[in-house]
A and B are shown apart, each in its own frame.
Chain A
Amino acid sequence: MPYTLSEMEADALTELVNVSVSKAAVTLSKMVRGGVSLTVPKVRIVPRAVAAASLTPTSEDQLVAVGEEFSGPFSGAAVLVFPVSNSLELVRSVLPHDADLEEIIEMEQEALSEIGNILINSCLSTLANMLRQRIKTSLPRVIYGAATQVLAYGGAESDADPVMILHVDFLMKEKGIHGFILIVMSLSSLMALRSSVAQMVAAYTDPSQGDAPAPGQG
């Protein structure tokens, strides 16, 4: 069954992404000088169309995404997504001084790229290190609007093609900013990822200390 994850694989991926995104959240909280709370990651393998539907904003609010593609033994994209209406407040939060609106608007693209770049590199470098793999990242891109554009990153050619998505919601309470971090991976990466995860799990699985006594050991 190429399109399902075993319980242990899903557990390991969730934990790896949890650690990676938590590290990135520490970086983000320093940049915005405020707390960033996170949900536990959810991992799913779904057709691209289903993933796109879940990305469609619930209100009329448009989304903005800052993302980078990554390549290596596994490839895909990591994106930070939030409502366009939060964008200026996020930029204001990271500027070192009290900037006026004109300046914030002028800085918006560059600041969002830099936030995305720092955050996503923090996240992906932790993930790569834990899996003992090297991942190359592209330059950040800021995308307004369509969710399908974000998901085109995942390498799926058509809406029916499955992609693997890892989803974490974040909230900056003091700033009133919310959104989510998505890591989208092509299924062609899944085999490589599986073997890395399996090696990692094996390193911590002591056969003599398993959940059940091994046969013959009484």
Chain B
Amino acid sequence: MAALYGARVMDQAFLVVDDSKLARMVVRQALRDMLPDCAVIEAANGAEVDGLTMDPRIAAAFIDFNMPGEDGLVLAARLRARHPELPIAIVSANAQTDILERARSLNAAFLEKPLSRSALTDFIAAAPLRGIA
């Protein structure tokens, strides 16, 4: 079970999956600046996500594309099957057409790295942050 950072019971939680700790820090900090009381659950790859007891407060997932082993879209497809309504964002610099199309077909947003605050704000504003419970 990944650590929860400063969570309060009623707050939203976000899942951040990236093999890079720095990349996870960037997303975590941006989320914290926007929603100071949110909880951020981190995982380094898809296998770690599979091992998580999914926090029912998870309101959105941010997934890196290029990770060792399976790529982020494979994980996104698995999450999508389990949680049809969960807002998912693929976070990557690799905005190639086929990757954008695969993201779209999973009803996932694409946020470009380096992550801009405005892109994150727009995604959060548009996402129905209900939690998966």
Interfacial residues, chain A to chain B (CB-CB below 8 A): 8, 11-12, 14-15, 18-20, 22-23, 25-26, 29, 35-36, 38-40, 126, 129-130, 200-201, 204-206, 209, 211
Contacts and interface: CB of A to CB of B under 8 A. Distances in A.
19 contacts: A8-B21, A11-B22, A12-B22, A15-B20, A18-B66, A19-B114, A20-B93, A26-B96, A29-B97, A35-B96, A36-B96, A38-B66, A39-B66, A126-B93, A200-B22, A201-B22, A204-B26, A205-B25, A206-B32
B67 interface: yes
Chain B interface bracket (under 10, 10 to 19, 20 to 34, 35 or more): 20 to 34
B97 A15 contact: no
Contacts of A20: 93
Contacts of B21: 8, 11
Contacts, number: 64
A8 B32 contact: no
Going nearest first, the 8 A-B pairs with the smallest beta carbon separation are: A22-B93, A15-B20, A22-B94, A204-B25, A19-B93, A12-B22, A29-B96, A19-B113
User: Chain B: interface secondary structure?
Assistant: loop
Nearest to B40: A209
Interface string B45-72: 0000000000000000000011110000
Given A15-B22, A22-B66, A130 B114 contact: yes
A36 B6 CA distance: 40
B9 interface: no
Contact of A8 (B22, B92, B95): B22
A29 B26 CA distance: 27
A148 B22 CA distance: 33
Given A22-B93, A26-B95, A130-B114, A206 B20 contact: no
Contacts of B66: 18, 22, 38-40
B23 interface: yes
Nearest to B113: A19
Contacts of B67: 40
A36 B29 CA distance: 31
A105 B81 CA distance: 50
B122 interface: no
B17 to A, nearest CB: 14
Given A22-B94, A26-B94, 19 more contacts: A11-B21, A15-B20, A18-B20, A19-B113, A19-B114, A22-B66, A22-B93, A23-B94, A26-B96, A35-B96, A39-B66, A129-B114, A200-B22, A201-B25, A204-B26, A204-B29, A205-B25, A209-B32, A211-B3
A95 to B, nearest CB: 20
